Structure formats: structure tokens, C-alpha cells
Amino acid sequence: MSGASVFTDATTAPPTQETKILSDFRRDAHPEKVYLAGREYRSEDGHTTILPLVWKIKHQIGSDPTLSPGYQSALGLSELTKRVAELALGKDSPAIMENRVLGTQAVGCTGAVRLGAELLHRWCNRSASWCGPILLPSPCDDSLAGTFEAAGFGNVSYYRYWDAKSLSVCVEDLFKDLEKAPEQSVVVLSAPGHYPTGAELSVEDWKLMAEVMVGRRLFPFFLMSEQGLCKSFERDAWPVRHCVSLGMEVMCAQSFCHTIGLYGEQVGHLLCVLKHNSFLLAVQSQVEKLVQTLWSSPPTDGARVVATVLSNPAHLVEWQEGVKGYVERCMLNREQLREKLRLLGCPGQWDHLTKQTGLYCCTGLTGHQVDFLGRRRHVYILPNGCLNISAINSRNIDYVAESIHLALTSL
């Protein structure tokens, strides 16, 4: 076919950090290579895992001839949105009882963020008194800024979250940045399990942050893809519940990829808590309209699995116990890695490893040391020194600890 292609001037997009690391790992032929930069929960055998309960429910759903194969509504499976809202806010939440909570099934956590961003941008364009900006934690998921920018936000900036020197949350700098933020800014918050550091604010810090947000009229947009994987389901949801208890409007992007193992099904959820239930129908109509332009109708099978787990008391208890096992294993990995580094005589203190929570962990290694790990030891972690703690197991922990020791003492 003659004529110029519409893609003649197309350029190759640079790979993301994670894509490049995974590509380097796959090309590496070393027999002891270790990949610690992934996002999935890995079991002791090194594989992405799924609880036996979830396998059983998936089989039951797949063999049930009475289930309709038709499209869902734009808002998704109603039983899912009801149960997920209760998981985040508590069954006795006044916001739920007052009918001022809107839940919408989304395509993964990223889809929930995009839907929330689109909804906020629509309000931004309609209200002369509100124009953002979006404030993201530094560091954060590389895709977050692009997601908000794709929704039309041109003013995306950052607040300080992680201090590489103290290897902890830089609480004072964080508060200073929020106190200087323009009123009505949207603040993206991790609750719980900050990616990629695993560092969390204390309850007292959250209380102070909530005071700052109320005083500055800031809008909290929570990311909650690891509820239950850090401390407990109740404690992990506490920051969201506290903000709601203060009368704040919030958005919360949720995901069940990690906790139920539905990575391929991408079961996400956007939770919106409004000030008054009189706004509910109007906001719902806007969300439905946006969903039609994004994915039309969310996928069904994964949503049915999550709804089944959350709506059956026996399933719920079994699932929460299974997730508790994930938490205990990740903490054991942290403790064992810290102890092995101590016994090897690694320079510095390593107590920060056990103060972090969830799947992710920040070692404090520099870019040069991370590069050394990949080139010389075939151990692949993120450039900022963060790694997935669940990917460490009894077969690789000694090699990983020795490699970190060499990176610290050979350069």
C-alpha cells in the first residue's frame, strides 16, 4: 500500500525502570541470579501465589451455569462495591449509614486512580475556585504522575516523604511541604504500604497530617492496594477512617491483586466519600459517564471472587488468616535479612528494615551499589535501593545478604 504512514514520526518510548530491570534479569544467564524488583507477592517457592480458598471459589464460579455472562453495570458488581466499602470504612461507618459513599469497580488500582483523576479534573474545569494541583509523595510509583497528566492535570508536583539519610519518613519536611501547598490541592497518600519504601507514618503523625489537610483544605486521595498486608486490616485502614471521621471528603483507590492474588483479573475499586448524600446521584451519574469512556464495563469473574470472599463470614475469616500468614512471612524475611547483614559485619544500622511494612522495603543502598548488585552479583533491585521483601526466600537469602555486604564494602 503506497503513501506515508501516520506513524512515520513515531518515536520509541523509553522503558520504565521496572521494564528495563526485568529485561536485564531475563537476559542474565547466571545460575544464581535473583529478581527482587517485582510487585507480586512471592511465596517461599518463589512463585506468585494464590490462597487455596481463592482457587476453590474460582472453580465454583467457573462451573456455575446459573451465572450470567453478560456485561456488568458501569459501576460494577454491586455486592463487590458494598463489601469493599465496608472493608475500608468499617461496617458501622456513619458515612455508609448516611448513604454518602459511592463505590465503583475499576480495572486495577491504576484504573481506580485514573477514574478518580478524571472525576476531579471534571470538577476542576467547572469550578473557578478549584484548580488542583496534584501533590505526589517523593518517591512514588513512576506511573502516578502520568496517570494524572493523562486525565488532564498539568500541575503535578511532589512533597517530600522519604529521607535517604535517616532511612525513614521525613515527617517534618512532609508537613512543611503540605503547609505550603495551595489550598484545595489533591494530596496522594499511601495507606498503607508506601511504594517503594514500605515506610509508614505513625498514628500520631497521621493525626497531625489530617489537621494540616483540614486547615489547608487539602483533598486526600488514598492509595490502598495492600490493606491487610502491613499490620492488620483494621489498622491499615485507620488513616482513611480517621479522615472520614473528621468530616473530610476523600477518594481511595483500592486493589485486591496482592491480597487475593488476582493479578490477571485486575480487581480495583474507587471509593468516594462525600460530605452530603444530596451529592450522591449527581456524582454517580458523572462516574457512570466517565466509565463509559474508559472501559465501558468492568470485568466480572475476579469481582465475583472478591465479592464471594468478603460476603461469606467463614470465607472472610479464612482469607484474613491467609493474608496474616503473608504478613508474618514478610516480617520474618526482614528480621532474617537484618540479622544476616549484622553477622556479616555490614556497615551501618539495619533496624530500618524491620520498621518498614508490607511488600516493599528500602535498603538504603546508593545507585552505584545497586548497579554493582546487578552487574557483579546478578541481584536485581530498584535503582533507589528498594526491593520486594517477599521475593527473598530460604534459597536466596544468604546470597542476597552476601551481595549487599560486597556492594557496601567493595566500592
Higher per-residue confidence, 226 vs 411: 226
pLDDT band for position 128 (cuts 50, 70, 90) = low
Q: Are residues 294 and 249 in the same domain?
A: yes
Q: How many CB atoms lie within 10 A of CB 150?
A: 12
CA distance 28 to 407: 19
pTM: 0.94
Q: Are residues 371 and 288 in the same domain?
A: no
Task: Report yes or no on 295 lying in a domain.
Answer: yes
pLDDT band for position 122 (cuts 50, 70, 90) = confident
Q: Could you check whether the bond before residue 220 is cis, i.e. omega within 30 degrees of 0? A: no
Under the phi-then-psi rule, with left for phi > 0, alpha for psi from -120 to 50, and beta for the rest, what region is 385? Answer: left
Q: What is the mean pLDDT of residues 138-143?
A: 93
Q: What is the mean pLDDT of residues 111-121?
A: 96
Q: Are residues 260 and 396 in the same domain?
A: no
Q: What is the mean pLDDT of residues 92-101?
A: 97
Q: Does the pLDDT value for residue 104 go beyond 60?
A: yes
Q: Does the pLDDT value for residue 218 go beyond 70?
A: yes
For the four alpha carbons of 155, 160, 161 and 165, in that order, the dihedral sign comes to positive
Q: Could you check whether the bond before residue 94 is cis, i.e. omega within 30 degrees of 0? A: no
Q: Are residues 325 and 295 in the same domain?
A: no
Q: Which of 269, 284, 311 finishes a domain?
A: 311
Task: Report yes or no on 61 lying in a domain.
Answer: no
Give pLDDT, residue 62: 87
pLDDT tens digits, 328-379: 999 999 999 999 999 999 998 899 999 999 999 999 999 999 999 999 999 9
CA distance 200 to 226: 12
3-state secondary structure of 284: helix
CA distance 144 to 138: 11
Q: What is the mean pLDDT of residues 62-67?
A: 88
Give pLDDT, residue 219: 95
Give pLDDT, residue 127: 60
Q: Are residues 300 and 326 in the same domain?
A: no
Here the cell at position 211 is: 489537621
Give pLDDT, residue 49: 85
Q: Are residues 343 and 276 in the same domain?
A: no
Q: Could you check whether the bond before residue 133 is cis, i.e. omega within 30 degrees of 0? A: yes
Q: Are residues 186 and 307 in the same domain?
A: yes
What percentage of the chain reaches a pLDDT higher than 90?
Answer: 84
pLDDT band for position 132 (cuts 50, 70, 90) = low
Give pLDDT, residue 274: 96
Task: Report yes or no on 56 lying in a domain.
Answer: no
Q: Which of 296, 311, 326 finishes a domain?
A: 311
Task: Report yes or no on 325 lying in a domain.
Answer: yes
Q: Are residues 323 and 292 in the same domain?
A: no
Phi, psi for 402 (deg, rounded to 5): -60, -40
pLDDT tens digits, 252-300: 999 999 999 889 899 999 999 999 999 999 999 999 999 999 999 999 9
Contact 249, 274 (CB under 8 A): yes
CA distance 161 to 189: 10
CATH of the domain at 372: 3.90.1150.10
Give pLDDT, residue 69: 82
Residue type, 255: S
Q: Does the pLDDT value for residue 175 go beyond 80?
A: yes
CATH of the domain at 170: 3.40.640.10
Task: Report yes or no on 48 lying in a domain.
Answer: no
Q: Are residues 214 and 348 in the same domain?
A: no
Give pLDDT, residue 9: 86
Task: Report yes or no on 140 lying in a domain.
Answer: yes
Q: Are residues 271 and 294 in the same domain?
A: yes
Q: Are residues 304 and 333 in the same domain?
A: no
Q: Does the pLDDT value for residue 402 go beyond 80?
A: yes
What percentage of the chain reaches a pLDDT higher than 70?
Answer: 97
Mean pLDDT, the chain, as a whole number?
A: 94
Q: Which domain holds residue 337?
A: 17-39+317-409
Distances (CA, A) of 68 to 48, 62, 63, 64, 147: 30, 11, 12, 9, 33
- 167 closest CA partner among 207, 205, 198, 202: 198
Give pLDDT, residue 93: 97
Q: What is the maximum alpha-carbon separation in the chain?
A: 69
Contact 212, 174 (CB under 8 A): no
CA distance 188 to 239: 13
Q: Are residues 145 and 259 in the same domain?
A: yes
pLDDT band for position 131 (cuts 50, 70, 90) = low
Give pLDDT, residue 1: 56
Number of domains in the chain: 2
Q: Which of 292, 311, 330 finishes a domain?
A: 311
Task: Report yes or no on 21 lying in a domain.
Answer: yes
CA distance 296 to 398: 49
Query: Which positions ≥6 away from 249 have C-beta within 8 Å?
Result: 219, 272, 273, 274, 275
Task: Report yes or no on 62 lying in a domain.
Answer: no
